Structure 1
């Protein structure tokens, strides 16, 4: 099936769906999530897998299925892909929810995003993911809807307070880490295109930064694919291990959140890691990551200027000047949806309304994140790390990321400690 007409970009479509969900809740639509808590086999078979509870799973599936189809339609993606593959993604996510609901898993403090990721990784690394399922995976789309809904739980005053510090941290870290990564790549003789993508990915916001940079320099899609795989795979041990390391070091929730948000390279992984560290850490990490995301447009513009004047000239030898429109083009529009959600819950909706709908929206938010991490797992193969010539990009990325972890810890401690 050919692509349909694109009505909105993905970010704007995410805002429509995320804010639409919020207003549905405000106007009385009930998001009744299925029960997932169980201790014994009898609990599982008699309660979780009961007809009444399975009917809740079915209603939840119908809702998110329709939302996903609307999203694909708005962005011009073939609806056939999501229509065929999404039910399988949902079933895997529901399985992750049920596993997470086990008392044994709860005791280990393993959140649904981690279980979702592990399920996806097991499938992708030991079995071949069929093409019809691959075409339905839309990690960024699912994560961004969850992030818009995350705005319902973050008071706008917290954004202003943490956002100022987050932006200061972002400026220090992004500039320092980008130049360090660039220097390391040059020392290891990584080619120019890969250098730009790696430096942007490790310093700004991972996958989105790599994609924006590739667009700005018209980079090789194969190199972009490798960079994305690298970002996703390296993020896995970081997002699982860093919250426990922060706890071991005795860091406050605020410092932990700032460290996670400033270091981990994808918004989804930041959410997963912040969830493991606690609600306060989740809020701070998200705000800090958004501060870095906001810099993406400016960074893409700067990279465009640099690349235009140093590498890419027109056939007549005259450089093609980028415009300020690059900043707006690369700006992550879903951040606006997050901000609107926060403003609505901070100043517009009554306390009674918020109390009534907040729980259901949080559960739905977590479900979109779980969908995203099933998708990440299904898209990630560990063998991809070693598929690029000489493995020098891997070495450069690991060195730069180590520098990032150390520098960001220090900056986070100074600003948020």
Structure 2
């Protein structure tokens, strides 16, 4: 079965016909993602470039220093080879990828530089939003050449990033920190996901958008939306809309919730659990926890990591549900193990394998050696994916009148999330 969405419109189909594929996309990202991890563990550690800067002189001396430009070039060469291998394995045009990937990478670096500005960083505007905005700006003001359009391997880039994301989900750290965070994560994720799903169905939102929206608001924001879209072969336009909602609503929550907690007289522990369970991006959780104090920051991080642990399990459950219900566009079959395995998104195996490897098989010294490089590569693949999404998406499709209902559903679900998480956090951490 092909892993890409059957709902892709003619406008987004590659103009250059693909060759015969060697592997489907999901197995390709497992192979490539684990290969990246394996190469890192055997000594090929790609240095993470620095993108943080305060002013023009700092930009020239840090981001555009000779050493940093070499690091950026090394990342480009490494990801270029991986992208070409992905095109070859999946039967996409290697020629189009060879021509188009450098353009996508250049736009991505621009997004990372913008996101690295201290003023914008203090607002916790993440690189993926700049990637999406740059892609939308170009894709909506000019006609893309066929070779560039054919090189937009959005799902490939996203899923490689998801496999690498598994290296940051360390079960041992969370279990050592205590079980309360996991208990809260389970209660909050299950209840908020169900309520978000119920609200979305009441508002007659389509199934794809409902699943992505419910996962984003209940689990861990951007990563959960991406994983869900991969599990159900969701429309990239709907994914970009959900992620825009996550990133936009995270900003006022990040700034206002610490002061609301102070006004209510909450303890640092309850405050941290509340922040970690409701704010949908890890960066915003860290920023908000820092505003509330060191103790709140620690608890908020533990709770957020606890929710991140559930990502793989949630994606698995969603994919099984999608298979049983026949919502993937294929007529429902008898739900045998064979049918589930055929439709199961194999990239989840790469995510779980990476997480288990880094949680239980590697020493702390080994992890410290490679984690910075892999974290940087993970963020880079996500940013590459969102430049691609922006390039192939019409801006008007994101914010037309039909998208008001998902907005209302997201805000209502987030409101419930804020209330239920506060109640659970109070009883567990008071």
Residues 101/306 of structure 1: CA separation in 2 closer, same or farther (3 Å cut):
closer
Aligned to 2:371: 358
Q: Is 1:49 the counterpart of 2:57 in the alignment?
A: no
Q: Distance in 2 between matches of 1:381 and 1:155?
A: 38
Aligned to 1:344: 357
Count of residue correspondences: 377
SS across alignment from 1:16: helix
Contact 1:150 / 1:365 at 8 angstroms: preserved in 2? Answer: yes
Q: Matches of residues 10-409 of structure 1 in structure 2 within 5 Å?
A: 10-45=25-60, 48-157=63-172, 166=185, 169-185=188-204, 195-204=206-215, 228-250=236-258, 252-260=271-279, 280=301, 283-304=305-326, 321=334, 323-385=336-398, 391=401, 393-409=402-418
TM-score (norm 2): 0.73
How much does 1:137 deviate?
1.9
How much does 1:345 deviate?
1.9
Residues 406/327 of structure 1: CA separation in 2 closer, same or farther (3 Å cut):
farther
How much does 1:171 deviate?
4.1
Aligned to 1:4: 19
Q: Distance in 1 between matches of 2:97 and 2:287?
A: 30
Q: Distance in 1 between matches of 2:101 and 2:225?
A: 25
Residues 165/334 of structure 1: CA separation in 2 closer, same or farther (3 Å cut):
farther
Q: Distance in 2 between matches of 1:8 and 1:275?
A: 39
TM-score (norm 1): 0.75
SS across alignment from 2:203: helix
Structure 1: unaligned runs, 5 residues or longer: 186-193, 216-223, 262-269, 313-318
Q: Distance in 1 between matches of 2:248 and 2:423?
A: 24
CA deviations on 1:148-170 (whole Å, 9 max, x unpaired) are: 22222222235776667655544
CA deviations on 1:295-354 (whole Å, 9 max, x unpaired) are: 21232134229999xxx7xxxxxx964544443344333222222222222222222222
Contact 2:324 / 2:335 at 8 angstroms: preserved in 1? Answer: no
Q: Distance in 1 between matches of 2:225 and 2:53?
A: 37
Contact 1:163 / 1:288 at 8 angstroms: preserved in 2? Answer: no
